[in-house]
A and B are shown apart, each in its own frame.
Chain A
Amino acid sequence: MDVTAQETSTRTLSYSEAIREAMALAMEADPTVILMGEDIGVYGGAFQVTLDLVDRFGPDRVMDTPISELGGAGVAVGAALTGLKPIFEFQFSDFATLAMEQIVNQAAKLRYMLGGEASVPVVFRMPAGSGTGAAAQHSQSLEAWFGHVPGLKVIQPSTPEDAKGMLLAALADPDPVLVFEHKLLYKMKGEVPAGYYTTPIGKAAVRRAGSDLTIVAASIMVHRALEAAEQLAGEGVSAEVIDLRSIRPIDHETIVASVRKTGRLLIVYEGVKSYGIGAEISAMVAESDAFDFLDAPILRLGGAEAPIPYNPDLERAAVPQVDTILAAARRLARREV
């Protein structure tokens, strides 16, 4: 594991507990770290991630903002410019569309436009993804939008351990970082080291080694891919599963090395399939020296070309699931594509 500081022990924590622990650790160690967002104070946040932090650090450092994403994000960017390290929570990452001006035109550009004289060390926390019955305006996976913007870093931790380590790495980063947290992951439990550590941004993790095909997955899709890989192993197919973790910067090296080894690539992500991170990764592989080692077309599994439906069956069908990953991986491994 990419742990840069010595930890003494691990405990089982949920993904949201791990995030809360990271925020508390950072706030204890650094008085410039503040939290901002709608209903993150007494209410504890839309997904109860900040929970009781307002009691521990007071309303001056855990600030409820008005229902204006553009205003709140603007204050966070401004605060970062003055030297504070704000963590701004969107209730749903969908609402970042209201704050695009601040994220894309201000936060991402200012260090460049000010000749490096200033930086914007803001962290945006982005609850994302479908599966909660929250319908079209509260279920999107827009991470690829931000992956397109130089000046931003975009990460998608998939485990409690990474959720903590990557949030601490984001806080230590001098530039704006967007953390996409899948809403279905908040309750997921896992071993989390105690104490302070960072997990590097821009480094993918090989979650399962394999030789027949490479599955690159992001966020919750990592877990579905791992489940599929387990079943594939029973069928004699050895799938390597790579947890992308960071989409900007992206870990070119790990992906290319894996494809060179397996010759087959399946990319699984929840965002709408077209113009998404799958397109970026497949193009990157086609342009790399792994091209000569491709032994099948590259396959992408992404979200449907439709808004996320409210109907639970349709909602499930709109994004990759274990069975769809299995089917695609089998077709790749059996040379049916």
Chain B
Amino acid sequence: MPVEVILPKVDMDMTHGTLATWHVKPGDMVQKGAALFDIETDKAAMEVEAPATGRLQHVLAEPGTKVPVGSVIAWLYAEGETVDTLPPVPAPGDVPAEAAVPDAPALGGTEQAPYAVPPQGMAGHASPMPGGSLLRATPAARHAARTAGLDLSDVAGSGPRGRIQKQDVDDLLARERDVAPPRPVSGWVADSGPLAVTRRPGRDAPLVLIHGFAADSTGWLPLEKALLPGRALIRIDLPGHGRSPKRKIRDFAHLARMVLEAFDEATRGLDGVHLLGHSLGGAVAAAIADIRSSRVLSLTAMAPAGLGPDINGEMLAGIARATRVESLSPWLRQLAGNAELIGDDYAKAAMRGRADPGLRSCQMEMAEVLFPDGVQAFDLRPAFARLSMPASIVWGRRDQVTPFRHALSIEADFALHFLHGIGHIPHFECPERVARIVERQFAAVEAPG
């Protein structure tokens, strides 16, 4: 008999878990005790070990699927065992003890409906359960959520038995829109390059914006509004961020080359551009300015990475792995010098941009590569020192991610702007002050004669 793979109950009041990733492909062998899949619950993400040695078959839950505790989500077949039709699924209460994960407490109660299983004869075909399909939601609510790219599990239902109505989706979208329009489409055009690049046409030398770790291009909105109107803007999403493809990176240089490729593509035919990068994007911007010094008119690096070993690794990891607003919000509040600036709506909007588990796992891997053991594994000081164009560093003195004193280590004639009372995200905390600094730099570079 094949052994059932069960979604275990790993925490007291857990009723459902979301399958995050399979570590084993269908048809592959796995040893008992080896990592089989990751689950995310309301509170945590964790790895689940294979309950037996065998070949993984009949995978019923795709990554992203929310599954009731105790459900059978796949089977393990012993070597040589015939794999034909789907075995019968026991009700969650009937699961034999040895099939459960050894460390897991008793499985969920019997009142839970058995997890949906494809009919007999569909053996071998995975049954993709779209995320949230076990939630109560009206067709209109589902349609609205689908259209807005919203995960229904983020929506609180106001209908009978918690059913999500269209109004609930609309309300959530309206609340998020009040804070930060997630996709300010108007005026922005998407390029078709190696990374997601959006551009807003305008006059003068364009300003190229590179966001930081675990952010995306939508975070530039407050600054876009604060800048003098009319300048052409080009925004690049880092790989594994925003709308860019999810790519594994080997090291910082690899990441910088990917972004450089997108930068070259996006700025082809242009005489020169200004560069503004934040945090990890600041380091990437400096690397690009170093390599393409003839095409970069000025560089502004906000709280750039790469100027010293210290970095708040716990915070980066916490943000990268957070699966819910509740776990994301406490970390986000540390981003700003004044935690009150980061309200629930900011956290909700941020979580919405991070709803894709694939994106989160990509970023967790990236954090591991760039900041192993909470240390910045790359040093941009030589690159900064070589820069020949006008350059400034902008840093909040209350930055809790990377200390502003890193700026003092640069051996070059840089303009250093230390902002009082500001944390790690000056472009969100005080976009007008940041705008004034970059505008002054533009003026200095572009002044006639």
Binding site for B on A (CB under 8 A): 263, 291-296, 335-337
Contacts and interface: CB of A to CB of B under 8 A. Distances in A.
Interface in B158-176: 158-160, 165-167
A335 B158 CA distance: 8
Given A263-B166, A335-B165, A294 B160 contact: no
A263 B140 contact: yes
Q: Which of B139, B142, B158 has the most CB of A within 10 A?
A: B139
B138 interface: yes
B140 A337 contact: no
Contacts of B167: 295, 335
Given A263-B166, A335-B165, A293 B159 contact: no
A337 B165 CA distance: 11
A293 B139 CA distance: 6
Contact of B143 (A293, A296, A337): A293
Contacts of A292: 139-140, 142-143
A305 B167 CA distance: 35
Interface residues of B, number: 12
B160 A293 contact: no
Contacts of B158: 335
B144 to A, nearest CB: 9
A286 B167 CA distance: 20
Nearest to B143: A292
A295 B160 contact: no
B139 A337 contact: no
Contacts of B138: 263, 294-296
Contact of B141 (A291, A295, A337): A295
B139 to A, nearest CB: 5
A335 B160 contact: yes
B165 A294 contact: no
A105 B210 CA distance: 77
Contacts of B140: 263, 292-295
Contacts of A295: 138-141, 165-167
Q: Which of A294, A295, A335, A337 has the most CB of B within 10 A?
A: A295
Contacts of A335: 158-160, 165, 167
Given A295-B165, A295-B166, A336 B139 contact: no
A294 B138 CA distance: 7
27 contacts: A263-B138, A263-B140, A263-B166, A291-B139, A292-B140, A292-B143, A293-B139, A293-B140, A293-B143, A294-B138, A294-B139, A294-B140, A295-B138, A295-B139, A295-B140, A295-B141, A295-B167, A296-B138, A296-B159, A296-B165, A335-B158, A335-B159, A335-B160, A335-B165, A335-B167, A336-B160, A337-B160
A63 to B, nearest CB: 54
Contacts of A337: 160
A179 B143 CA distance: 40
A287 B219 CA distance: 42
Nearest to B142: A292
A293 B138 CA distance: 8
Interface in B110-154: 138-143
A263 B167 CA distance: 11
A314 B323 CA distance: 58
A263 B165 CA distance: 10
A253 B96 CA distance: 54
Contacts of A296: 138, 159, 165
Interface string B160-199: 1000011100000000000000000000000000000000
A275 B141 CA distance: 29
Nearest to A335: B159
Nearest to A337: B160
A263 B144 CA distance: 12
Nearest to B157: A335
Contacts of B141: 295
A39 B121 CA distance: 65
A27 B19 CA distance: 75
B132 to A, nearest CB: 15
Contacts of A294: 138-140
Nearest to A292: B143
Interface string B200-228: 00000000000000000000000000000
Contacts of B160: 335-337
Contacts of B166: 263, 295
